[in-house]
Structure 1
């Protein structure tokens, strides 16, 4: 219905000119949008002025004012119009906002970040780091003795569940990570993403939804997944080492879009 774009920080927005066209506003854009601002919208918080380069009929390039409008502001604008199209736009943006909030809808920036994360989340040492960060976040406000019960609720399975499945499969394992590897190795990627996002304070719903995207990506690109904790030779690329180091130190730019 309307094209959703994202800032460099991953903030979703729509262009005022596109909203203007869809709503069928009759007055010129340069008059209409300034009149909308009389409702008290705040520049650089709810909208930003952009200079868009266009080419005139005579072939001479020039610049035209347009505005990047945050979704909440776009919803208000659609409601102000009091038309059926305005109602439809508002409801569409409300539904989309819910999907963005709960992680069911990801931007191209976020999907690209997940591809990069999948390249390094297959290493057991990285998975352990993600789990430790999640644990550290959890015990800030909870008793650590409740960690495994909480973790089972978040992940949707418990240690006992894995024991039953692995016994039926006839697989031996030393810990939960090895058990998951035998059961479904790409589930390890999913779990690591849940750990990383919940360590950032994201909700269970959001972390779970994003982790499903990550697992789907992993199943397609098939990253290496193995226990690298006791390897004498490190086969990671320089890019992977940099990403891993940033994750461990909490400086990962990949996670900023989430």
Structure 2
């Protein structure tokens, strides 16, 4: 049996859960149990590690068989299910679904509102208070994923960001500058100050549960915006309000408290087209 691909009026490609189950050759008696597990499990989607979202990754399919539940699955979700299954034919169907994924609808692409939000993020990440808050929130997410442990945090973060304290010290020395008593942030300020904006944005989106690739892509975009706008890097933590830059306070508060308000909610899962 071939896996049937359905296309909605809006062009969304989906598969039926029941069809997927049949082609994978899984035990009929375990259908209901596996279906519940699929929907409640955690997967690495393109936009982050999370549970599947209703009306984004799956939707209830009306059926005349009262005792049998069925769903429509997005192509990405179906592929992740196949990869996590114990089916003997999972490579065949995972490859098939991978080729069907519409690259033009990839979550790596930003809509206009998201681009404008990254532009605003580039500005507020000039404030050290936002940078440190994003770093702390990222650390908390890291600990949650590692059973409450922060072991290897600095090595993990250095590898992800592409620089370490030792590398920054070497760069400072090559520039003929002293490294005595200098923190990472101080050294970045003297070697590549807009890297602080990139780092802050990467920390923020990692804290929000996005994938490393996705967070780094947005970080690079924010850094490019910061350079173009000549964003001021300002340590506002102990500065009087009179001397702080006039920036988007609403977004700054969202960053500091990881609150999904008008800006950060733009990265919440969108509803599946019907």
Tell me the TM-score normalized by structure 1.
0.61
8 Å contact from structure 2 (residues 194, 223) kept in 1: yes
8 Å contact from structure 1 (residues 186, 215) kept in 2: yes
Give me the whole-angstrom Cα distance separating, in 1, the residues matched to 2:113 and 2:74.
Answer: 18
* Corresponding residue of 1:146: 152
* Corresponding residue of 1:8: none
Find the partner of 2:127 among 120, 123, 126.
Answer: 123
Give me the whole-angstrom Cα distance separating, in 2, the residues matched to 1:216 and 1:114.
Answer: 10
**TM-aligned CA deviation for residue 244 of structure 1:** 1.5
Give me the whole-angstrom Cα distance separating, in 1, the residues matched to 2:221 and 2:174.
Answer: 28
Which structure exhibits the higher relative contact order, with contacts defined as CA atoms closer than 8 Å and separated by 6 or more residues? Answer: 2
8 Å contact from structure 1 (residues 180, 188) kept in 2: yes
Indicate the SS of the match to 2:235: coil
- CA RMSD, Structure 1 to Structure 2 (Å): 3.6
Specify which structure has the higher proportion of helix. 1
Is 1:94 the counterpart of 2:102? The answer is yes
* Corresponding residue of 1:85: none
Aligned positions, number: 187
Tell me the TM-score normalized by structure 2.
0.58
Give me the whole-angstrom Cα distance separating, in 1, the residues matched to 2:187 and 2:172.
Answer: 7
- Which consecutive unaligned segments of at least 5 residues does structure 2 have? 1-6, 18-53, 57-72, 77-97, 268-274
Give me the whole-angstrom Cα distance separating, in 2, the residues matched to 1:71 and 1:114.
Answer: 27
- Which consecutive unaligned segments of at least 5 residues does structure 1 have? 1-13, 20-35, 47-69, 74-89
Alpha-carbon deviations, 1:21-55, whole Å to 9, x = none?
xxxxxxxxxxxxxxx99x89xxx937xxxxxxxxx
**1:8-157 matches, cutoff 5 A:** 16=9, 45=55, 94-97=102-105, 100-101=106-107, 103=108, 105-142=109-146, 143-157=149-163
